[in-house]
Amino acid sequence: MTMRSKSAVLSLVALLTMSVGWSVSGQAQPPGQAPVQGPGRGRGEPPPPPPPQTGHPSGKLVIWGDLASFDVPGTLPTHCILTNRFKHGQRLGIRMTAIDGGSGEVENTAVLTAHLSYAGGTIDVPMRWRGVGGFPAAEYPRQPSEMWTGVWVVPADAPIGVMKYTVTAVDRFGRTATFSPFINAVSQLTIVDQ
């Protein structure tokens, strides 16, 4: 891959990350989820992904994303605001995108899972591909086909402090990718008192 094509892919990833941050909707999840090893809670099985796109796979699988408040109702002023500070009972939203590194296009066959280190174990939060279904036009000027989201409600007994997380992805072609947030302690997912 040439330096110019690497720059183009990185630019596309940055652009997609910004556009993901501009429009996101929360997902329903029961409050007070207890820490468990294994699958997290969601809205049932997501619909199957569409067939592979022409020209895929043609590079590495690349994933990137952020954290946001998925407060309900969506009319709250903090809904979809980027943050890494969450209080007990708050809905932590994990937003990601998956890119075919060769073509720079969204890899819609990817399956993403967030992994939260909690209470000496790992909570796996399956992420839902948001490229299907009707979304409110007032919130989404276009369908969010580049976005996967997952939700975890911070339990009342969650300890205050930094909480580690990663996101993994695998696509239909067997390619894998892992996302870890920046290592700076200030930018880590943190459970706060107030």
Question: 110-153 pLDDT, tens per residue?
Answer: 999 999 999 899 999 999 988 776 777 777 777 777 899 999 99
- Interatomic CA distance for residues 41 and 33, integer angstroms: 8
Dihedral sign, CA of 147, 165, 13, 3?
negative
Its sign, for the CA torsion 140, 124, 40, 132, is positive
- Average pLDDT, integer, range 65-70: 95
Stretch among 49-53, 96-100, 108-112, 189-193 having the lowest mean pLDDT: 49-53
Predicted pLDDT of residue 2: 54
Distances (CA, A) of 140 to 3, 87, 90, 134, 136: 34, 27, 23, 10, 6
